[in-house]
Amino acid sequence: MGSTGDVYNQTSENFAVFTHNIFHITDRLDLTLGLRYTNETKDFDAAFSNDNIICPQNRALLSGLLATPLAGLAGGLISLSCQGNSTA
């Protein structure tokens, strides 16, 4: 059976300032200076529930074919049936 009840939380803060300056010291010499400051705020909350019962069934059924000439087909079918909360 699939996994259920995964919860993700993320908080981040960021603020950005950037400068890039070129100072001409002589006709043949330039000095380049740059500065970056970053301070940011992000909040991310997500809940992921997956009750996909087709994925484990396809893995059990098709995994034996992954070492055969049908590996591409078997891998593709496993991948398609295991995407998120998909069903066949």
Residue-wise pLDDT tens digits, 50-72: 677 788 888 899 999 999 999 99
pTM of this structure:
0.39
pLDDT of residue 19: 93
Residue ranges covered by each domain of the chain: 1-50, 52-88
3-state SS assignment for residue 1: coil
What is the average per-residue pLDDT within 7-12?
A: 81
* Complete DSSP assignment for 42-87: EEEEEEE-----HHHHHHHHHGGGGGSTTHHHHHHHHHHHTSTT--
- Comparing CA positions, the residue from 59, 46, 44 lying closest to residue 2 is 59
Residue-averaged pLDDT of the chain? 83
pLDDT of residue 10: 85
